[in-house]
Amino acid sequence: MDRFALRDALDSRNMLAFLALIRAGEGTADADGYRRHFGGELFESFADHPRKAITKGRYTSTAAGAYQILQRTWDGLVRQWGFADFSPRCQDEAAVALIVGRGALDDVLAGRIEQAIAKCA
């Protein structure tokens, strides 16, 4: 699978609905979701993952963006898929790549949401 396949998957209504479901669960479904750090603060630049650890309550996390991707996860995705930045488009492709990595792509595309959630959980 290559980046073109990730982009093609984003043409699927089922994929877009699944990504919207994830964003709703992450609290990033609004217009600023692609710019949101863990805890709600917004970052400014899409040049790269913001690489900022934020502590809220008992938790510290580097999660950022629409899918709350951790810095270490993003770095692995960049190595594997070659994402050039942390733009909304690359975040969407990265989310699809993570779905692929969990073996849930066919389930998402076919609308087998319960199976896809089980594999991605």
Q: Per residue in 41-81, pLDDT tens? A: 999 999 999 999 999 999 999 999 999 999 999 999 999 99
More confident residue, 121 or 61: 61
- In terms of Cβ atoms closer than 10 Å to its own Cβ (0-12, 13-18, 19+), residue 19 is buried
Single-letter residue type at 20: A
Residues designated as active site: 26
